[in-house]
Structure 1
Amino acid sequence: MLQGFAPVVGQHARVLILGSMPGAASLLAAQYYAHPRNQFWPIMGELVGADPALPYAQRLDRLTAAGIALWDVLARCEREGSLDARIRDDTAIANDFAGFFASQPGIRTVLLNGGKAEQSFRRIVLPTLAVQEFACVRLPSTSPAHASLRAEQKRQAWREALRAAGIATAR
C-alpha cells in the first residue's frame, strides 16, 4: 500500500492543484513531481517562479506565495510502478477533503492534473462533500507518460487555467 504526502498550503490559497498519487520517483525523493521528465516544475517555474533549479522548499514557497496549494486525490492505494493506469481502484482511499476545504475557505478552484486525478476526485471525493463551492478544471497531465501534447501546449493550458482562477502568471 502506497502512502501519499501531506498537502502543501499557505495562508491565502485560492487554487488547489491535485494529482492522483505520487509516482515512484516522487515517493522515493519525498517530493511532489520529482520525476525529472515531469513537466510540473518547468511549467510552474515559468508561470509563478517555482523553477525546477530552485531547492524543493523554495519551489513550494513560490507556489504558496502565488496562492496555490498542492496535494493528491489519494491518500493511499496499491499500484505497480508509477502509471496512474496501474492504480487499483478497489484499494484507493481519498484524502480528507471535507476537513481540508473546511480549513481552506479561500480555495475556489481545483485544478486536476490529468485524467486519473479527475476521475478519482469526481468518483470518490465529490459525492462526500456537503458543499461544493469551487470550480473543477481538468488539465493535461504534466506526466511524461502523457505525450499527446507538446510541452508548450501543456504550459498554455495551465497558464490559462491559473489566470482564470486569479493567479498572476508570467507572460
Structure 2
Amino acid sequence: MPLKFAFPPSVDAQTRLLILGSLPGDASIKQGEYYAHRGNAFWHLVGDMLGEDLRATPYAMRLKRLRVRGVGLWDVIESADRPGSLDAAIRGAELRDLATFTTRLPALAAIAFNGKAAAQHGRGQLTGRPDLTLIDLPSSSGANASLSRDKKAEIWRQLREWIA
C-alpha cells in the first residue's frame, strides 16, 4: 500500500482555533495544499464561517487569512498506508503528538475535528486538556454526502465563537 504523509501545521502563537483533519487526500498531496480536491467543501465552509470568499483566493493567502483570524490547520495523522483518499481505507496510522503540540499554542481555546476519522484519532489524545473545547464537525469531504453543504455550513458556523 502507498505510504502517505501529512503537511506541516499552519499555526502561529495567536492560534485560538485549530481545525484538525485526518490525512490529506491524493489531490491535496499532489498540489501540496490542504483541502485541494474540488469536491471538498472546506474552503467554502471556512469562508462562510469567516464571512469571506476564500475559494477564489490564492492558497498562500487563504492560509494567511486563517492565521490572521486565529485559525490554524493541521492533521491528526502523520503518515499512513492508504490507497486512494477515503479515510475508511487508512491503515497503520502514525499519529501526531497532539497533546505536546497544543501546549506550544498559548492562545489555543478550541479544537475542531473535521470528520469522524479526525475525531476518532485525535480526541483521545486531548482528554487531559479540560481548558480546550473539543468540537466534532461533519466532514467537509465530498465523500460525506449524508448532509447538504448548507447543513454542514450551519454546523460549522459554531466555530465563529473562537475566531478573531
TM exceeds 0.5?
Answer: yes
Of 78, 81, 105, 1:78 maps to: 81
Secondary structure of the structure 1 residue equivalent to 2:15: coil
Deviates more, 1:46-55 or 1:134-143: 46-55
The match for 1:53 is 56
Question: Within 1, Cα distance between the matches of 2:35 and 2:135?
Answer: 19
Deviations 1:63-82 (A, max 9, x none): 11111010000001111110
Q: Residues 19 and 72 of structure 2 are in contact (CA less than 8 Å); yes or no, is this contact kept in structure 1?
A: yes
Q: Secondary structure at the match of 2:72?
A: strand
Deviations 1:133-171 (A, max 9, x none): 2111100100000001111111111112x123x325xxx
Aligned to 1:36: 38
Q: Percent identity?
A: 42
CA drift at 1:106: 1.3
Matched AA of 1:56: Y
Q: CA RMSD in A?
A: 1.5
Q: How does 1:1-171 map to 2 (within 5 A)?
A: 1-48=3-50, 49=52, 51-88=54-91, 91-123=92-124, 125-126=125-126, 131-160=129-158, 162-164=159-161, 166-167=162-163
What is the distance in 1 between the residues matched to 2:59 and 2:32? 10
Distance 1:32 1:50 in 2: 16
Task: Figure out how many residues of one structure are paired with residues of the other and give that number.
Answer: 161
Query: Structure 1: how far apart are the matches of 2:53 and 2:12?
Result: 15
User: CA separation in 1, counterparts of 2:69 and 2:94?
Assistant: 29
User: Residue by residue, what CA displacement relative to the aligned partner does 1:7-66 show, whole Å, maximum 9, x if unpaired?
Assistant: 001331111100000001001111000000100001122222261111000000111111
Gaps of 5+ in 2: none
Local SS of the residue matching 1:119 = helix
Residue 105 of structure 1 deviates from its aligned partner by 2.1
Q: TM-score, normalised by structure 2?
A: 0.91
Runs of 4+ in 1 over 2 A off after TM superposition: 130-133
One-letter amino acid of the counterpart of residue 167, structure 1: I
| Cα distance in structure 2, aligned partners of 1:132 and 1:78 | 32
2: distance between equivalents of 1:117 and 1:152? 21
Aligned partners of 1:111 and 1:98: how far apart in 2?
A: 14
Q: Following the alignment from structure 1 to structure 2, what is the Cα–Cα distance between the partners of residues 122 and 45?
A: 25
Greater shift in the superposed pair: 47-56 or 105-114:
47-56
**TM-score, normalised to structure 1's length?**
0.88
